[in-house]
Structure 1
C-alpha cells in the first residue's frame, strides 16, 4: 500500500526535465503553473500522483509534471484512469482533457467516469476550438464561430461542459480560467472532494481563438462580469453592487441591484454547494445579461466507484481461501476418453 501522508515539496519538485512546448502565450502555461503551485499546497507526493491525458494541446500535460503519467488515446483518458484507480485505489489521479477530447469523441467516457464517481480530478481545458488540429470548431464553440470547418460561421449550439457534468451525475463541479489567481484554490477544493471532481478551465488559444474570454476575464470588465461562488456567502458581483436573486414566481435567477451593501434587503441568494438545482441555474446562466459563474458551484460527495468495488471484492472473498485448481474444476466438467476421441476423428 502507498504511504499517502502529506509531504513537503515545492513548485520546482513538480517540474519535469521536458521542454514545455505550447504556442507562446497559450493559456496552458498558466494552468500548468497553477497545478504545480497547487500540488505542494495539498501535500501531494510525486510517487503517488498520476496525470492521465487523451489527445490535444492540453494532453501534453503529463510530460511536464514530475510524476507518473499516461498520454493515452483520443477521448479515452477516463477509461485508463478507471483502470489505474481500480488497480491501486490509493493513487492520486488527475485527468487532463480538452473540449474536443472530453466533450466530443470522449463525451461517452467523460459521462461514465462522472456517473460512476471515480475518485479523481478532471480538468477540462475549454478553449472553444480544436487547437492541435488547426482550428476547427469544437463542441463548445459559440454560434457564429468562423473556422476552417465553418468558414461562414458555425450554426451548432454549443455544449455546456458544467451542465453536461451535472446531467451525468457529477458530485463536484467548478469553474476557473487559466490566468486567474484563484485557480489553485479551486483545484485544492476539487482535490479535497472524495469522488469525481469536474473543473472546467477556460483557456485562451492564442492562435485560433485569441481573447475569446476577454468579455469576462479582461481586467477592465472582470469585476463586473464574474461572480465567484463561495459556499455560505451571498452571490454578489460588480464589487458588491449587484447580486443574484431567486425569482420565486418563475423559479429562475435574476440580477438585482444592491444599495449600500445591504444584500439582504435586495434578497440576494446565498450560495449552497449542496443545492443541485441552484448549481444547474448558475452554470446555465446566459452570459451577457448574467455574469460568468466561477469557483466551486456544486460539491455534494457520495461513495466512490473504486471504494464500492473494493468493498464488494472484500465481501466476496471473506472467509475463503484462494484455490485456482478448485475454481477451474468447479461446475460442469467431463473427461474425454481415448476411444471417444478416436471415434470422433473417424466421424
Structure 2
C-alpha cells in the first residue's frame, strides 16, 4: 500500500513503445496485460511507480511497463528494490522474478526482503523451468522432469515458493496463474497490503515446459480442481458440493462432501487470511487429492522495514544539526598549501 494520490490512467498509459519479445503463446503476455489492466484500477501513477527485475524471461518486464524500471543482475533484484524503497519510501515498487532467479541464486535475497517486510509487491513467475537458458531444470521442477541438465529425470524435491515465503516470515502470500480472470484481484490485494506482498504466479512456458499446469489451469472442469480462497468465505469447490475441513485427529486438512448446500454441517472451514497455521496447510496440499489453493492465502500486516529505518534515523538525529557542510567544518580544519606558502 502506498500513500500516493490516485490518478486516472488507462491501459495504454502503461504500454511502452518496445516490442514485446517473448515466445508466441508464453504466459508472460497474459501476466503483462493483467498488470497493465490492474495499475489504472489502483490509481497508480507511472511517475511514482518502479518495476525491478533480475535475470530471466520474466525479468524483461520493466521494458514493457511505461514507468521507471531497473533490469538488474541475477537474483539480486530484491537488494536493488530494497535500496530504492529506502531512498524514497513513497515510490510504488514492484519486484518481478522467476523460480530460477528468485529461488536459486536469489534465494537468500528473496528471503531477506520478505523477512524484513519491505513494502513492495513481489511477483514470482513460476514455470518450473529455466526458459531463458534453454530449458534446464529449476528449483521448482518436479521429480522426474527431463531436461538437458537432467536427461534421466530430476531427482530433486522441488521447492514450494509459497511455503518458502511463509517459512521466512512473509506477511502476505498469494497464488494465481497467468490466464486466470482472478489474477487482477490477487494483484489488487497484494497492492493493498502494507509490507512485502508475495504472489506466486504459475506461468506456462510453451517451449520447454508446455502445459505443465493444465491439470488445474484448464478452463474445462476448473471448478473441480481450483479452490479460490476469499477471506470470511467457506472453502468450497466443485460447484460448492465439496469443501475443506480440519481433520482433528491428524491435524491436517481433508476433503468433505457438502449435502444440500449445508457446508456448516459438513465442517467446512471459513477462510481466515490471518490464520498462519491453516495457510501453511493450504500451500502444502498435494494436488490431485486436493484442489489447487489459489487467491490470498495469508494476509496479516506488521510494521514495515522502511518505517523502522526512518524511525531509527529520526531518533538518532533528533535535536541535532544534520547539515553535511556543518559536520565537515566542525572541529579541526587544515589548509593544504602549494609550494611558496600559498593555499592550493
Given the two structures, how large is their TM-score scaled by the length of structure 1? 0.93
Assess if the C-alpha contact under 8 Å between 1:215 and 1:221 holds in 2.
Answer: no
- Matched ranges for 1:33-72 at <5 A: 33-72=33-72
State the SS of the aligned residue for 1:246.
strand
Distance 2:249 2:215 in 1: 31
2:248 alignment counterpart: 248
The 3-state SS of whatever aligns with 2:216 is: helix
1:105 — aligned with what? 105
2:77 maps to 77
Say if 2:123 is the partner of 1:137: no
Q: Name the CA distance, whole Å, in 1 between partners of 2:235 and 2:322.
A: 57
- Residues 221-240 of structure 1: pairs in structure 2 closer than 5 A: 221-240=221-240
Q: 1:155 maps to which residue?
A: 155
Per-residue CA deviations over 1:269-302 (Å, capped at 9, x if unaligned) read 1100000000000001111101100000000000
Tell me, which stretches of 5 or more residues in structure 2 are unaligned? 335-344
Name the CA distance, whole Å, in 2 between partners of 1:130 and 1:330: 56
Shift of the alpha carbon at 1:312? 1.1
Cα distance in 2 for partners of 1:18, 1:334 equals 54
Q: 1:223 aligns to what SS in structure 2?
A: helix
Native 8 Å contact 1:75 1:109 kept in 2: yes
- Corresponding position: 1:7 with 2:11: no
Q: Give the C-alpha shift of residue 27 in structure 1.
A: 0.1
Q: Give the Å deviation of 1:322.
A: 2.4
Count of aligned positions: 333
Aligned position for 1:189: 189
The 1-side partners of 2:296 and 2:166 are apart by: 13
What's 1:344 paired with? none
Q: Distance in 2 between matches of 1:282 and 1:157?
A: 19
Q: Within 2, Cα distance between the matches of 1:129 and 1:99?
A: 8
2:130 is paired with a residue of what secondary structure?
Answer: coil
| Secondary structure in structure 1 of the residue aligned to 2:201 | strand
Q: Which residue does 1:261 correspond to in 2?
A: 261
Check 1:92–1:259 CA distance in 2 against 1; reply closer, same or farther (3 A cut).
same
Equivalences for residues 299-338 of structure 1 within 5 A: 299-324=299-324, 327=327
Partner Cα separation in structure 2 for residue 34 and residue 334 of structure 1 = 59
Residue 205 of structure 2 is matched in structure 1 by 205
Distance in 1 separating the partners of 2:48 and 2:156:
41
Aligned-partner Cα distance in 2 for 1:156–1:27: 25
Query: 2:170 and 2:26 mapped to 1: Cα distance?
Result: 29
Deviation of 1:319 (Å): 1.2
- Other structure's SS at 1:186 match: helix
Distance 1:273 1:161 in 2: 18
What is aligned with 2:339? none
Q: Deviations over 1:90-147 (max 9, x none)?
A: 0000000000000000000000000000000000000000000000000000001010
| TM superposition shift of 1:221 | 2.9
Question: What's the CA shift for 1:324?
Answer: 4.3
Return closer, same or farther for 1:312/1:282 CA change in 2, 3 Å cut-off. same
